[in-house]
Amino acid sequence: AVVSTQSTGEYRSVLLKDLCQYYEYNEFLMSHLVELMPLGELLDMLDAQEAKRPVTIRANSLKTRRRDLAQTLISRGVNLDPIGKWSKVGLVVYNTSVPLGATPEYLAGHYMLQGASSFVPVMALNAKPGERVLDMCAAPGGKSAYIAALMKNTGMLVSNDASKERTKALSANLHRLGVHNAVVCNYDGMAFPKVMGNFDRVLLDAPCSGTGVVSKDASVKQSKDEEEILKIAEAQKRLLLAAIDSCDHTSKTGGVVVYSTCSVMVQENEWVVDYALKRRNVKLLPLGVDIGKDGFSRINKYRFDSSLSLTKRYYPHTHNMDGFFVAKFQKLSNIVKEPKEVFRSDGESEEEGVGDVMEEAGDVTEGVGDVTEEADEVTEEAAEITEEAGDVTEEAGVVTEETGVEGMECEEPEKKYPSEKKAKKGKKKKKKVTKEKTKDS
């Protein structure tokens, strides 16, 4: 029998390189995907990422019903079915003989071409008629239009996007879909609490790395690295805090914030949510949606709040939709929490989580204790030196008395500083002037 001498780590590194080569991912991205799930399930997800997701549409309840829309599209040669029991407005299209973006029903605003995963954050938000709702990153408008439909075109919906160019498509879609209660604006989401606040509900579909939609953009496999992921995560943290600050915790019907991304990376999902839990007085709520896998409360070197199991993850191999993450917050008050942990500025140490930070804090405390002990020792030595100096002074006094020289100081010549020299020169000049005046007189 042949006995292998390779370690588990060596096998893992070989497997990682083989996966990178076969699926054309860079090593950084693949090393993080391997941590998300068992190897067999990971292969299923990677294979699913290579295939395109089925086309899905959302029936616009402001203008039609899903049953009527399905019958009309079937008569035009579209093969479709309801998306599932979890959605009342979604339809999945298997094949079609007409372009879905040019049918009379599309132009009339009866439906919106929209990914199935993007239904979930709006369903979790669960906006009510008459409320004030903010969609912080709204373009191209699919989620905003869905929110308006749930609100039955009442109340006020603020659809914001940081890109002025993207607001054009946002406005066009809202007009086409018959949305009348929306205000389109163009502000940086991070500064939005200064512009407007006191919303009953806030939806933040944050800009992300797109690691959940590889089937739409294969360049993600090679273009994303650790530095870029950490930069995106920092922006997401600031946006989420701004979204929470824009929400009204005293709302009788809401006080809800929903955070979502189309990424499967822990740094952009659980890490960001855990950050918000430590800095704002909020708690996580169940989404109220029947599908999805629980988020991670601990994974590899990360340790998060236990309530993160209430968040949901969506994968292409389990739900046949794009990779997605959704979290739902309830705002309790406007209190801004002071973080208990201090994260270091370098990205590597930030990833190590709370446990590592506490260990570092312990090391620092021990170091402070050592320094304190050293300081005590130095203080004792200084006290001894002071006592010795006192003894020397007494002895010098005795010697002075014995020699009969009283009032004389036996001091070493001190170093004269420029300012002192100038002062003495000034005194000498004054004496000379007074002498010359006395002679003249």
Which residues are known to be catalytic?
Answer: 262
Looking only at the bridges linking them, the beta strands covering 156-160 and 182-185 are parallel
Secondary structure of residue 276 in the 3-state scheme: helix
How many other C-beta atoms lie within 10 A of the C-beta of residue 346?
9
Cα–Cα distance, 77 to 159 (Å, whole number): 35
Interaxial angle between packed helices 8-23 and 27-34, expressed in degrees from 0 to 180 and rounded to the nearest 10: 120
Backbone angles phi, psi at 413, to 5 degrees: -60, 125
Cα–Cα distance, 70 to 229 (Å, whole number): 41
Nearest Cα residue to 69 out of 61, 174, 118, 123 = 61
Cα–Cα distance, 248 to 334 (Å, whole number): 8
Cα atoms found within 13 Å of the Cα of residue 201, Cβ hemisphere only: 27
Structural contact between residues 280 and 337, judged by C-beta atoms closer than 8 angstroms: yes
Nearest Cα residue to 109 out of 59, 39, 148, 153 = 59
**CA dihedral defined by 116, 120, 126, 131, rounded to 10 degrees?**
-70
Backbone angles phi, psi at 168, to 5 degrees: -65, -50
Cα–Cα distance, 168 to 163 (Å, whole number): 9
Cα atoms found within 13 Å of the Cα of residue 355, Cβ hemisphere only: 9
Secondary structure of residue 130 in the 3-state scheme: coil
Secondary structure of residue 293 in the 3-state scheme: strand
Cα–Cα distance, 160 to 186 (Å, whole number): 6
Nearest Cα residue to 304 out of 267, 259, 262 = 267
Cα–Cα distance, 132 to 202 (Å, whole number): 9
Structural contact between residues 203 and 258, judged by C-beta atoms closer than 8 angstroms: yes
